[in-house]
């Protein structure tokens, strides 16, 4: 039984995140999308709202027989992974700029939990510049973000800002 977690803020979920979920699905039997509860980040969506959006979008994301679940957590990613008996942490890499931060996190997590491996997947070219922050910025200023985030997420952002 190969279980992974895919941790992140997902504030909000983008097509880049969905692409990583789809790509990692064939590699695992189960993936827990783990929404980090980090109030310092002053998120646009509450953890519950983020979880709710993700769970509505997961059925259409399934790729093969992988079971996809969404949960939230706070504290150390390594602790959460161990508690859920995951053997891997999935992360996406968009550009060299992601690499340095991700390398530090992966090495620290390895030190904390030597049995859990971080698995990096390269972003799809078409989403390699997509980040939750950029989507929020552009959306707030009235720019078009369709095709880069799921329609449901766009609707929820519109509701938030109206």
Ligand X SMILES: Nc1ncnc2c1ncn2[C@@H]1O[C@H](COP(=O)(O)OP(=O)(O)O)[C@@H](O)[C@H]1O
Q: Which spans of this chain sit near ligand X (rule: CB under 6 A)?
A: 8-10, 14, 16-17, 19-20, 91-92, 94, 98, 123, 127, 130-132
Quote the least distance from Cβ 115 to ligand X, whole Å: 20
**CB nearer to ligand X: pick between 3 and 43:** 43
Q: Is 17 a catalytic residue?
A: yes
Question: Which residue has its beta carbon closest to ligand X?
Answer: 16
In terms of phi and psi (left: phi > 0; alpha: psi -120 to 50; beta: otherwise), the region of 46 is: beta
Which tokens belong to 75?
């504290």
Q: Catalytic pick from 3, 9, 17, 156?
A: 17
Q: Is 74 a catalytic residue?
A: no
Distance CA 57, CA 13 (A): 9
Quote the least distance from Cβ 10 to ligand X, whole Å: 5
Omega of the bond prior to 12 within 30 degrees of 0, cis?
Answer: yes
Distance CA 122, CA 95 (A): 9
**CB nearer to ligand X: pick between 42 and 162:** 42
Distance CA 31, CA 126 (A): 24
Q: Is 41 a catalytic residue?
A: yes
Q: Is 50 a catalytic residue?
A: no
Q: Catalytic pick from 24, 51, 132, 136?
A: 132
Question: Whats the size of the chain, residue-wise?
Answer: 162
- Residues classed as catalytic: 17, 41, 94, 132
């Amino acid at each position: 039984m190969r279980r992974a977690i895919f941790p992140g803020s997902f504030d909000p979920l983008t097509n880049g995140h969905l692409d990583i979920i789809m790509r990692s699905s064939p590699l695992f039997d189960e993936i827990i999308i783990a929404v980090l509860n980090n109030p310092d980040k002053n998120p646009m969506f509450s953890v519950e709202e983020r979880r709710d959006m993700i769970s509505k979008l997961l059925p259409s994301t399934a790729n093969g027989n992988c079971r996809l679940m969404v949960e939230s957590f706070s504290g150390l990613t390594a602790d959460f992974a161990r508690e859920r008996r995951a053997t891997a942490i999935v992360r996406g890499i968009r550009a060299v700029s992601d690499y340095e931060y991700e390398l530090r996190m992966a090495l620290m997590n390895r030190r904390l939990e030597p049995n859990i491996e971080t698995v990096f997947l390269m972003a799809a070219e078409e989403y390699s510049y997509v980040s939750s922050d950029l989507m929020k910025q552009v959306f707030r200023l009235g720019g078009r973000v369709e095709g880069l985030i799921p329609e449901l997420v766009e609707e929820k952002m519109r509701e938030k800002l109206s």
